[in-house]
Amino acid sequence: MTGALPGELVSVALDEERTRYARGHVVEVEEPSPARVEPPCEYVAQGCGGCTWQHIDAAAQRSLKVDIVRDALARLGHVDEPSVDPGPDLPATHHRTTVRMAVVDGRAAFRRRHSHDALAVEQCLVAHPLLNDIIAAGRFPGAEEVTMRCGVSTGDRLAIVAPSATGSSVPDGVVLVGTDELQAGHRAWIHEEVAGVRFRISARSFFQARPDGAAALVAAVAAAIAGAPDGLFVDAYGGVGLFSATVGSGRPVSLVEWSASAVADAKVNVPDAKILRLDVARWRPSPAAVVVADPARTGLGRKAAAALAGTGASHLALVSCDPASLGRDTALLAGHGFEHDGSTLVDLFPHTPHAEVVTRFIRDAPQRRRRDQ
């Protein structure tokens, strides 16, 4: 139910009715929860659909996400009384270093709730000031969409305009590129520093949307693989090399990634690693001591889980960006002898229901030996 909190009495309007469930949105709050607050952003009242949890107190948001993760692990992962740590307290405003926006009348805009209509804005509560400067001053006539990226540590800024940047204008110092130029082979990137390591991040490469959150993920992954034996570090869905260059430092590293752009960046960021441009589900595993996997929202799936289990690793850290996929992957990994040994929430996206989770899985040596025989 969009706009409601647990325990509240609300009036709702139904948007969709199915045999087993219905969807709706709050029309009026009759008895509010103590966790309900006035949304801090003026554009929520105007219909902006970017931050759907602004009516919830920031501390309560993390508590609700922990409950959602616990439920997924218990219900889908079949874990009895799963341990979920609420993780670090990250700032809830002015943190995002990547923002993807629609364009209306040449200006950057967000989609309205439950609509394809766009709402032009002068600034965004969660965008980093380096991006708010572009949101306010940038003009993109004839464009359909603009993606803005920045490096907090370097000040690098990039605006990627679709389908073309022709006629666009941005503040001084911002690199402007069209998706048509990228398709023609033009390269553009920013640089960012996380955990003392400098990363090149190309226009088409994925990277976490806040450097403090990336550092928190690195710390959580390091804790998740604590106690792993010496040996090969497998970085599955390794992207530009965030975990290879930090947590994997000092070990031999194999990084597996499908994106050509990310692979090119990883070769710069982790020059000593063995980098394989492959779908993890099609990868033929090598013996390894430890595995870190950071798949897309859909999770590992059966084939990728089997491939990672085939390494014989005793320690596996799974970075999940969807509680349901975490639950499903937990059940799949359990079928290969991996036992859930605690999860940590890293709340990269305050004011939204999205939850990023790092989970520690352990498989003991006798189980590995039986599987190898």
| pLDDT over threshold 50, residue 158 | yes
Q: What is the mean pLDDT of residues 143-155?
A: 98
| Segment 239-285, tens digit of pLDDT | 999 999 999 999 999 999 999 999 999 999 999 999 999 999 999 99
| Segment 166-183, tens digit of pLDDT | 999 999 999 999 999 999
Any residues with CB less than 8 A from the CB of 223 and at least 6 apart, and which?
344, 360
Closest by alpha carbon to 258, among 235, 280, 243, 291? 280
Question: What is the per-residue pLDDT for 277?
Answer: 97
Q: Binning pLDDT at 50, 70 and 90, where does residue 365 land?
A: low
The DSSP secondary structure of 13-63, one letter per residue, reads EEEEE-SS-EEEEEEEEEE--TTB---SSHHHHTTB-S-TTTTB-HHHHHH
| Segment 223-235, tens digit of pLDDT | 999 999 999 999 9
- pTM for the whole thing? 0.93
Give the CATH number of domain 62-91+210-372.
3.40.50.150
Average pLDDT of the chain is 94
Question: What is the per-residue pLDDT for 15?
Answer: 82
Q: What is the mean pLDDT of residues 156-170?
A: 98
Closest by alpha carbon to 245, among 295, 195, 293? 195
pLDDT > 90 in the chain, percent: 85
| pLDDT over threshold 50, residue 371 | no
SS3 letters across 77-106: CCCCCCCEECCCCCCCCCCECEEEEEEECC
H or E segment to which residue 219 belongs: helix 211-224
| pLDDT over threshold 90, residue 28 | no
Question: What is the per-residue pLDDT for 1?
Answer: 63
CATH 3.40.50.150 boundaries in the chain: 62-91+210-372
Question: What is the per-residue pLDDT for 21?
Answer: 78
| Segment 65-86, tens digit of pLDDT | 999 999 999 999 999 999 999 9
| pLDDT over threshold 80, residue 316 | yes
